[in-house]
Structure 1
Amino acid sequence: MAAAPPWRLAAGLIGAAALAATAACTESGGDASEATADPEVVDAAGLLEMANESVRLSKELDAAESRVIAECLEAQGFDVHDQRELGQNEPYEVASLVDAYPTAEFLPEADIAAEWGFGWWAQTAEMFDSEETQDYYAEAYPDPFADQPVFDNSEFESLPDDERRAWSVAYQGEEATAALEYTGEPSEEEASSEDGSLDFGDGETPSAPKPGGCQLEMITAIYGEPKQVEIDLDGGYLVWEWRPEQPEIEYESIEAEFAGRMADAEAGFLSCIDEAGYPGWEFDEGGRLAMNDYSAMLYTGEPFDPGAPPGEEPPVDTSPPAPDLPDDVPDDFEGKRAYEVDMAVAFAACGDDTGYREAATSAYDAVVAEQYAAIEVETYAWQDQIRDYTVKAQELIAG
């Protein structure tokens, strides 16, 4: 129920001081402003350069792949291309290694809290499609890619349906094109099981269609044959891959390490919001609060339902439960929203007054940077591979 942005946040630039410190409370438990130096020195600026170089190299290879595919299509007489597939944006730069902080959902900035609360109201049926909701998202979660140019795809879109389909088949093959046209309705060969899920009949793991057409020609010319890889999606799903996999940081390890470093600072924050009239809150093992449950109870009167795939049980939640709503919570929408705003203002003030916000930002920056440092060697090796494949693609283009 708690509001979530339709894009991922791009946080501010990591400072060297922020990466060299983690949070600690005083013995009184009320102030998290004192910091303890991290024994491991992390080159934040170098890691950020590494991350941006990965983006640049990936975009450069994307563009080279598209040029190889375009030449293949044009040799078959297809001169107008779908820019959604072959159009390429310029490389962008990220300003931080951190996409979003785990505190964002319960610790808005003071000015945002005073005007918009936590943003829970924006997810209600009354306000979901409203202009005010769009204004809230634009202010609280500015889109870091808003300045990216929008491709003009009008020439391709103006082609007759049969010509656009013929282009798609030439681009990626009949199987992939047919998959894009799939309506979701079972065919005569597909039966629906009793629980409503799709029965594939042969018991095999479902798979994305294999690339075909000029896309497959590009893949085999640069990388060799594509390989099927199983991902954990609704019980397993096979996808096709051809590029070497980019090293990734371990987000679960980040949350656990962050929560461990913040244990003392959390006590001061919880004490503050208790005194402000919001008792009973507990952090979970990832350093988060049960805001989804609380917001759902406030606006719908029902617990938050995360849902589950057909035929599967929802995951068991072992996190500390959200506190009960006060008996005097208003019944009307505007009253509920006013309660939300007051609560958000109190949480934001406690985050600032106890030093919890600054400490949490510093600790999370440090933990994320350490994770990037742990994959630094593998990332540079991957970048070398991407450079080699780009050279190979450019040689194909040059003929």
Structure 2
Amino acid sequence: MRTFLLRLPVLLALAATAAACTGAEDGESKTIDDESQLLEVVNENRRLEAELAESERRLVEDCLDEQGFTVHDELELLTRWYVAEQEALVEDYPSNFLPDPEVAAEWGFGQWVYSDEGWASGAGDEFNDIVGADIPALDLDNSAFNDLAVAEKQDWYAAYAGEEYAASIGGFSAPAGEDEAAGGSDDGSIVIDPDLQEAVAPGGCLLEMIDALYGEAEPVAATGEAVGTVWSWGPRSPQEEADWDALRESYRVAVIEPETAFLDCVTAGGWGDWEFDRAGSLPISAHFNQIYYPDSEITVVEDGLVVDPGSVPEPPADLPGDLEGQKAYEIGMAEAFLDCAETTGYREDAEAAFRQVQLDLFLSTDEELFAYQDELRAAIANAQEVVKG
């Protein structure tokens, strides 16, 4: 399934979309027996999704080219249609608020680099290069589109997905000397309105592609961390309709003891009274926002919703006021958290529990998963015919 949000396209990570045969002939039983086998299935589906995505993107770009738009927002197109194979069945854990030891020793939780002083020093770029080296967008050259005038960018977005979409993603800033009435940042980038929740219907070349391949787009309730309504088209993975709330609850039940032991260790070390959120993570950023942005309102987000920040510990009263002292505090906390995670076995137990509940979920929907793969292959065949004209 492809989704369409009113804000910048969000790459909805398909944590696992499994559908493949493990060697059986047509008509015979198809089974997936273990995690390694399921990972092979996941990546087969990823390859199919990538093939279908390439056809969708090709049709949209051809449509734009025909209208004279030969310079594209490559980041926008990458975000919507990028599909990559997975190195592991689960790549993002609730326990990922814990940094790697080598990162903790130099960067702490990586929060100080986003302070005004830390960012001005260039630490933010260096940190992002270290922790985000595998993000494909970092290697993408979008300079040609960035150099376009504000009006040209707005026209491209309107042709790409409709006037309503172009308006909903926010204003643009103009380069020096140009009209800045549209608002926006000072670098020509899109400004996102955080209050927007409902997606606009796709239009422009995006709608032409949808009409050609799927007939129509369907409004559906958003899942996961997205909020409101999104528009979907194409084969819909059964994983997107899974009961993720139940999965999360199963995980939290499985980690009650290691979470409790970890928090007891943290409290005993003098690092404050913390509480895990519904997803099994800690509000690390909210805690350090109190330090690096003391005049800002504390915001804690769970599942896309702002919740009561009462569970965020306050910084110590004797915390130094300079960045070096605050950075030392952050590094000390990060290393103490890692020590507690190791001595209590929290990280190992939490990751094992999260893998298991996801594996149990994926293995319980064999028939739906195999049907999804058939749908992908049929959609690819149809898309290739449309592309050929």
What TM-score do the two structures reach when normalised by structure 2?
0.67
- Asked if structure 1 preserves the Cα contact closer than 8 Å seen for 2:221 and 2:230, the reply is yes
1:92 is matched by which residue type in structure 2? A
Q: Does 1:58 pair with 2:41?
A: no
Aligned counterparts of 1:122 and 1:360: Cα–Cα separation in 2? 28
How far off its partner does 1:95 sit?
Answer: 0.8
| 2:99 matches 1:94 | no
The counterpart of 1:133, out of the listed 118, 124, 135, is 124
Please report how far the alpha carbon of residue 335 of structure 1 lies from its aligned counterpart in structure 2 after TM superposition: 1.4
Q: SS of the counterpart of 2:235?
A: coil
Tell me by how many angstroms 1:244 deviates: 3.1
Specify whether residues 82 and 300 from structure 1 end up closer, same or farther in structure 2 by C-alpha distance, changes over 3 A only. Answer: closer
Distance (whole Å) between structure 2 residues aligned to residue 181 and residue 8 of structure 1: 21
Partner SS, residue 241 of structure 1: strand
SS at match of 1:58: helix
Instruction: Give deviations 1:63-90, integer Å, cap 9, x for gaps.
Output: 223444556667x585946373778988
Residue 330 of structure 2 aligns to a residue whose secondary structure is helix
Paired with 1:285 and 1:170, the residues of 2 have a C-alpha distance of 41
In 1, Cα distance between equivalents of 2:45 and 2:355: 20
Query: What is the aligned partner in structure 1 of residue 176 from structure 2?
Result: none
**Matched residue type, 1:227:** E
- 2:32 matches 1:45: no
Higher helix share: 2
Q: Which amino acid aligns with 1:103?
A: S
Deviation string 1:165-224 (CA, Å, 9 cap, x unpaired) is: 8877766566656767866989xxxxxxxxxx9xxxxxxx96525423x54443323211
Tell me which amino acid in the other structure corresponds to 1:289.
L
Question: Whose relative contact order is higher, 1 or 2, with alpha carbons under 8 Å and at least 6 apart?
Answer: 1
Distance 1:222 1:277 in 2: 59
Contact in 1 for aligned 2:250/2:357 (Cα 8 Å): yes
Give the distance between the partners of 2:317 and 2:350, measured in 1 at CA.
32
Return the TM-score normalized by structure 1. Answer: 0.66
SS of the equivalent of 1:119 reads coil
Structure 1 residues 28-177: aligned runs within 5 Å? 43-69=34-60, 80=70, 82=72, 84=74, 92-105=84-97, 107-139=98-130, 141-146=131-136, 150=140, 154=144
- Number of aligned residue pairs: 337
Residues 271-314 of structure 1: per-residue CA shift (max 9 Å, x gap): 43344333534444543334344323444456862289xxxx95
Separation in structure 1 between the aligned mates of residue 67 and residue 287 of structure 2, nearest angstrom: 59
Is 1:329 aligned with 2:319?
yes
Aligned residue for 2:337?
Answer: 347
- In the alignment, what sits opposite 1:394? 384
* Partners of 2:267 and 2:64 in 1: CA distance: 65
2:47 maps to a residue whose letter is: R
1:207/1:114 CA distance change after superposition, 3 Å: closer
Contact 2:73/2:142 (8 A) holds in 1: yes
Q: Which residue number corresponds to residue 262 of structure 1?
A: 255
Deviation (angstroms), 1:55: 2.1
Do structure 1's residue 288 and structure 2's residue 278 form an aligned pair?
Answer: no
Tell whether 2:358 aligns with 1:365. no
**What letter corresponds to residue 244 of structure 1 in structure 2?**
P
**2-structure distance, mates of 1:375, 1:359:** 25
Aligned counterpart, 2:7: none
- Contact kept in structure 2, 1:110 and 1:345, CA below 8 Å: yes
Query: What is the CA–CA distance in structure 2 between the aligned matches of 1:356 and 1:371, rounded to whole Å?
Result: 23
Aligned to 1:272: 265
**Residues 259 and 287 of structure 1 are in contact (CA less than 8 Å); yes or no, is this contact kept in structure 2?**
yes
Instruction: Name which one, 1 or 2, has greater alpha-carbon Rg.
Output: 1
How many angstroms does 1:60 deviate by?
0.8
- Root-mean-square deviation over aligned CA pairs: 4.6
Q: State the distance in 1 between where 2:313 and 2:152 align.
A: 59
Kindly indicate whether the alpha-carbon contact (under 8 Å) linking 2:64 and 2:70 is maintained by their aligned counterparts in 1: no
Deviation at 1:315, TM superposition (A): 3.4
Cα distance in structure 2, aligned partners of 1:8 and 1:122: 27
Which amino acid is the alignment partner of residue 328 of structure 2? A
- Identity value in percent: 31
Query: For structure 2, which runs of at least 5 residues remain unmatched after alignment?
Result: 1-10, 16-31, 174-180, 183-192
The question of whether the paired residues in 2 share the 8 Å contact of 1:10 and 1:95 is answered with no
Amino acid in the other structure paired with 2:265: C
Q: CA deviation at 1:395?
A: 2.0
